[in-house]
Structure formats: structure tokens, C-alpha cells
Amino acid sequence: MAEALIERWRLAVLRVRLDLARSSPIATAELVGYPADGATTYWRADFDYGGFGLSEGTGPPTRLVVPPDLVEAVTHCLDVDFGADTALWLRLVPPYGHLGAVPWEAALVPATGRPLVRVPDRLPPGSDPGRVWTVAVAVSVAPDAPWVAGYLSSFVSSLRSAVAGDVDVHVFTDPGAEQALRTLLHEGPDEPRVRLHDSRDAVRLDRSGQHDPHAGGDVLPPPGRVLWGDWITAGLDGRAVRALHIVTDGAFDGDRPVLSVSADPAVPTAGSGRAYVSADRVRRLADRIGASVLSIGSPPGNPCDAATRIIADHVGLRRAGPTLYSALPLDPAGYALAQAHAFVAGAPGSVPIPRDPSLFAYLQPEFVQAALQDPWPDPDRPGQTWLSGRAPIGDSATSGAILPGALGVAGGDAITARYADADSVPMWVAASTRYIENQVAALVRTAGVPGETPAAKQAYDLGVGQAIAELRALVDRRMRES
């Protein structure tokens, strides 16, 4: 799907492939554009894997860099062959090892003066309605880390300054930071749109994940249970959020990148007392609470920033909706991240494309088009610009792909109309929408092509598409009845 997006939107793309067939791994980088009918390769070169600070073994990466000659070549090529308003897109072709952890943005954004956006492998979300920009923030770091309260306070202020309209923030963090943050934010009648959730509520969740208000405060979590997801879901009380921001250390469980959190939010721990959370679990939590935007922050003193980067890259490549990585040491007030939220939340073209070295972002091309001064050409209609809202895949007559509208994604219009002026969307509606979007993306990615794919596969795709459409119709009907 990523290559289809590149072709349909005629992106200026830095494509990187990892070649493992040689005696030692080689990364082939090429800069490709679409000035006419087809793709044009403006520059190509091979780079040793070690030139990025990566080793051939299975050990975790540590000090990663972008080779200086790669930065110089890309910068020169962009200056000579591309317009000043062209956004550069990064396409890492799977499998690409640990190249997703390389700080491409920190090297290329200052050098080129252009935004660098990573190309996802999913369709954009069908709907993200609601009048208020609601954000859930979860922070799990070393007990009483001195920077947490100041960062959260500044990030809330940055969101309010950057995002147009009302901003509603739910904070989930450990007891020490919670008390300090109450003092900074003065939670109460003067701060109606900031809620600090009591970490003791996390231990009042029984094994089924249902909130039990009658349980005593001394109830311990089930052995090995990580309560953050249940705590966040219960704390939101059935209301979806527009964005989820997670800040925690990274780690490697063997060769698998994970996030490190306290198993019990009410009892912060460090070292061996931490629990591990996989990339898939992070993605499922975002979908569960209806978040279209997911941002993952790497805190000061993170012992394994590379793992955090790989998690954000892995999730961003595979989920529908914007996914962001934020390096807190480079953005201590959360201002750059808040600007990225404002870019996604605002009217098209009202906020510049994120281009801060502290960030990397997976965004669908639709988010970026309106922010460019020069309109993008429509590849199907020479001389005309791209039509707003058009699906970034072909119709069944030309590409064999199943149109998202036929699968019920267009049903998101009913959700948008129903909740456009509401403060929030019911969590079950938003979560159902995220599930349907993921199913559509998976189906479109593997859909058969008439004349090339066996009839049985085409029949299977059609059946799955009809089932997804029926599910969307059921959600729409339940929504109207509620």
C-alpha cells in the first residue's frame, strides 16, 4: 500500500532498501520523483550497514547516525531538481532491520530545510469527529523523576496555545508526579479541561477489567498484570479521545524492542521491577480508546532510545492515522509535539507541516497536501490538481483494488455528521471505527486483481468486503439508535 500511495500522490521520496544477499548488509538509498508520467530516479547510492552505526549481529543499536555523504547528496539533489515547497517522504522498504531507529529527521530536516515525513502502509482514518481536541497522556518513568511535572504542565500549555479550539487533557501518571502536577496545574474549577487520574484507581480493577468502586485501596493487581490499559480505558468513562501520548523508557527483551512500564501504576518501580509492552499492545490500546493520533515520547535519560524509535516506527508503518515520535530532551516543553497535534487537528493548510528535529511522523499524504503552496497534480487528469478527499487507490477497473467506499469507510460520514459538534465521541463508536479501518487497510493491501488472481481469492475478498460493509452498517445503525 505504501508504494501505491507514493505513486498515486507522486511523492518526492527517499527510498531505502536493505540488501542482505551480499557478504555484508548494504543499504541502497535512492531519491525518486514524478515530474512527468512515470517515476524518475535522481540519485542512488549504496551504504554499508555499519555506516549508520548498526552492526550485523542481533545486539541492540546504540549510537545511530545518518551517513554525512547521504545527507549531502540528498540536500544537493533536492536543491537542484525539486521545487522549494516540496516535502520529502521517507520510505523504508520492509524488511529493513533497525534502520527505522536511525535519526533520519534530525539529520535531514536541518540540512534540507524541508519537512521529512515517513510513508505509512495504511489508508487514512475514515473519521475523527468531535469539537474538542481530547488527549490522553500516560507517563511511566522512574519513581519521582524530577522533570515529569514540569514537562506535563508545559505540554498542556503548548497544546492550548497551538491547537485551535478547546483542548481536553487526561493525565495518567505515577503518584509522585501526580501530586506535583496538581500544584502546577491547579486542577479544579479553574482548570475544567485537565483531569489528573488517581493512580490508586488502577488497583480497583478486577481481573475482567471492569471498574470496582467498592474494592479497597489495598487490593493488589493480579500477578504479571499490566494495568495501564484498563486504568486508562476506565478513567475515560466511555468517551473516546482524539489522541494518545505515551512517555516511557524503551528496552530490548532479547532482540525484541519493547516499552518499559510499571506493572502497577500506583507502585512506580525501576530496573527489574518493570513490565514490558510490545508495539502491537500499544497499537491496540490506541484503537481501544478510539485515538486517531498516537505519539510516543522518549524521556530524558532513556536507557534505550533506539527501542522507543523502533516501536514508534513499527506502529506508525502499520496503523491507520498519524503516528509521531518525540524526543523529549530536544523538545522539553512539548511545543514541537503540540504543533504536530495542531497540524493534524486544524483546518487543512492552517498549520505548517511538522519539521522539527525532535520529531518523526507517519502521515497519510492527505494531511500534507493542503499545507503545500503548490497544488499536487492529479495523475488521472493531466492539467488538473488532485481532488480533495479522493481515495489514494485506483478503482476496480484499473487496479483491481476494492474501493474503501465499497467497504463502508464512507460510512464515517455518518459518524462525522452525528458528532461534529459534540465534545467527544462514545468510545465504542470510535473503537469500532478504528477496527473497521484496520480491516479495510488489510483487505486493500492484499486484494486480488481481476484477470490475475484466482477466482477463489477474488470471491474471498468480495465476501470479506461485504462483511466489513455490513459491520459498518451495524455500527451506524446502533449509533443512530443510541
Per-residue pLDDT at 458: 77
Would you tell me which CATH number, out of the four given (3.30.70, 3.40.30, 3.40.50, 2.60.120), belongs to the domain 133-348? 3.40.50
Percent of the chain residues topping a pLDDT of 70? 80
Instruction: Please give the C-alpha separations between residue 365 and each of 17, 41, 240, 375, 396, in angstroms, as whole numbers.
Output: 21, 20, 25, 12, 21
- For the stretch 147-204, pLDDT in tens is 998 999 999 999 999 999 899 999 998 887 777 787 777 655 445 578 999 888 886 6
Per-residue pLDDT at 100: 94
Per-residue pLDDT at 53: 92
pLDDT band for position 413 (cuts 50, 70, 90): low
- List the one residue out of 424, 407, 403, 402 whose CA is nearest residue 415: 424
pLDDT band for position 384 (cuts 50, 70, 90): very low
- For the stretch 212-244, pLDDT in tens is 444 444 344 444 456 899 999 999 999 999 999
Mean pLDDT, residues 333-354 taken together: 88
- Average the pLDDT over each of 69-78, 145-154, 462-471 and give the range with the smallest value: 462-471
Please report the sign of the dihedral spanned by the C-alpha atoms of residue 92, residue 94, residue 95, residue 100.
positive
More confident: 398 or 181: 181
Q: What residues have CB less than 8 Å from 129, skipping those under 6 apart?
A: 415, 416, 418, 419, 420, 422, 425
Going by their DSSP bridges, the two strands 243-253 and 133-140 should be labelled as parallel
- Average the pLDDT over each of 26-40, 120-134, 231-245, 397-411 and give the range with the smallest value: 397-411
Q: Is 59 exposed, middle or buried (0-12, 13-18, 19+ CB in 10 A)?
A: exposed
Q: What residues have CB less than 8 Å from 192, skipping those under 6 apart?
A: none
Count of C-beta atoms within a 10 Å radius of residue 260: 25
Per-residue pLDDT at 436: 84
My answer on whether omega of the bond before 95 falls inside 30° of 0, hence cis, is yes
- Give the CB-side neighbour count of residue 70, counting CA atoms within 13 A: 24
Mean pLDDT, residues 392-420 taken together: 49
Mean pLDDT, residues 23-48 taken together: 91
Instruction: Please give the C-alpha separations between residue 92 and each of 6, 13, 85, 97, 395, in angstroms, as whole numbers.
Output: 12, 10, 23, 10, 26
Mean pLDDT, residues 382-400 taken together: 35
- For the stretch 437-446, pLDDT in tens is 888 877 776 6
Per-residue pLDDT at 331: 96
Cell of 79: 536543491
- For the stretch 261-279, pLDDT in tens is 988 888 877 777 788 999 9
Mean pLDDT, residues 273-296 taken together: 92
Global pTM value: 0.84
What residue segments make up the domains of the chain, in order of their start? 2-118, 133-348, 404-481
Per-residue pLDDT at 410: 40
More confident: 57 or 409: 57
Cell of 268: 512506580
- Check whether 109 has a pLDDT greater than 90: yes
Per-residue pLDDT at 36: 75
Q: Which residue in this structure is represented by grid cell 487496479?
A: 399
Per-residue pLDDT at 381: 44
Per-residue pLDDT at 119: 92
Per-residue pLDDT at 469: 85
Would you tell me which CATH number, out of the four given (3.90.930, 2.60.40, 3.30.300, 3.30.420), belongs to the domain 2-118? 3.30.420
